[in-house]
Amino acid sequence: MRPINEWFPEILRENPKSSVHPFCLETYDKNAFIHARHFSSPYSGTTEDPVTGTASGVMGAYYLTYMNPKLDSVEFVVEQGQEIDRDGRVAVKARKNGSAAMEIYISGTAVFVTDLVQGIRIFSL
């Protein structure tokens, strides 16, 4: 799969600076539950994020809301980055807290990638 990031603003008209995060349940690693990719907004300066903790956390909420809403909590591993030789994992814990909100926890190992970019340190999980 090769994204054409320049098309995102035209397709994603309601939120033209959005990224796209496709996923599937077929994984490379038997210990991972979800395989994902993260195609960056053309405004971000990158084409694909190798490992995305925030988007992985959202997958926990998505799973409990749409894929298995009978569960109250879930823990799993998201794998990402294999297609661009940046193999990574994010551990995700999601728990319903009795209201519409959920508690989401992510963890992984971060690796220093670069110095400051617009005043923000950039890390890869």
CATH number of the CATH domain containing 20: 3.10.310.10
pLDDT recorded at residue 56: 96
Residue 112, pLDDT above cutoff 70: no
Of residues 31 and 46, the one with the higher pLDDT is: 31
Closest alpha carbon to 74 in 56, 88, 89, 86: 56
Q: Which domain holds residue 67?
A: 5-124
For residue 120, what pLDDT band results from cuts at 50, 70 and 90? low
24 contacts 8 by C-beta, under 8 angstroms: no
Note the pLDDT of residue 116.
Answer: 52
At 59, the pLDDT band (50, 70, 90 cuts) reads very high
Position 10 scores a pLDDT of 93
pLDDT at 114: 61
**How far apart (Å, rounded) are the C-alpha atoms in residues 58 and 43?**
21
Judged against a pLDDT cut of 80, whether residue 125 lies above it is answered with no
**Number of domains, the chain:** 1
Mean pLDDT for all residues in the chain: 89
- Classify 33 in phi/psi space as left (phi over 0), alpha (psi -120 to 50) or beta: alpha
Per-residue pLDDT, 46:
87
pLDDT digits (tens, 9 = 90+) for 2-32: 888 899 999 999 999 999 999 999 999 999 9
